[in-house]
Amino acid sequence: MQNIYQHGGRNFWIHNTGPLGCLPQKLATFDKKSRDFDQYGCLKALNDAAKQFNDQLRLLCEELRSELKNSTIVYVDMFSIKYDLIANATTYGFESSLMACCGYGGQPYNYNPNITCSRAGYNVCEKGSKYISWDGVHYTEAANDVVASKILSTNYSTPQIKFDYFCNN
């Protein structure tokens, strides 16, 4: 980032990583036992690794804020946004929080690494707007709509700066 700063970059919006242990791709491909899951069906170890990464990224952003005085560095907590979406899927109108809409294999994750979305044999759900995951990795348009509005609310940002600040500076 300091290289970008030396070339004139002054405003940075940094997103942390989401709950990797909740992705259908990871859930379908890792060997697991019942004790490996949290209360929402996500893999604890992968989410713990994501949290550790995010803690270090947050600290780095704090450090850079103090070093790069003439810059704006906004840290956005994507993990909390996306985990809340999965934990409260029905509240947001979703029927399936951990199953891919486009994929192969049906319940519980509809994900097969050999027959992914866009390869021969895949199927697509009828109501994509009721799913959080599109293809086991990416979110559906409906889920991204929820995520985007939470990002733009600035409730998950440190510091809480509105996005239009970056358009005007």
Q: How far is it, in rounded angstroms, from Cα 2 to Cα 144?
A: 31
pLDDT, tens only, 139-169: 999 999 999 999 999 999 999 998 787 777 6
Q: Domains of the chain: which residue ranges?
A: 11-159
pLDDT, tens only, 120-132: 889 999 887 899 9
Please compute the mean of the pLDDT values over residues 54-58 and round it to a whole number. Answer: 98
Q: What is the mean pLDDT of the chain?
A: 92
On the question of pLDDT at 50 being above 60, the answer is yes
Query: Is 46 or 5 the better-scoring residue by pLDDT?
Result: 46
On the question of pLDDT at 90 being above 60, the answer is yes
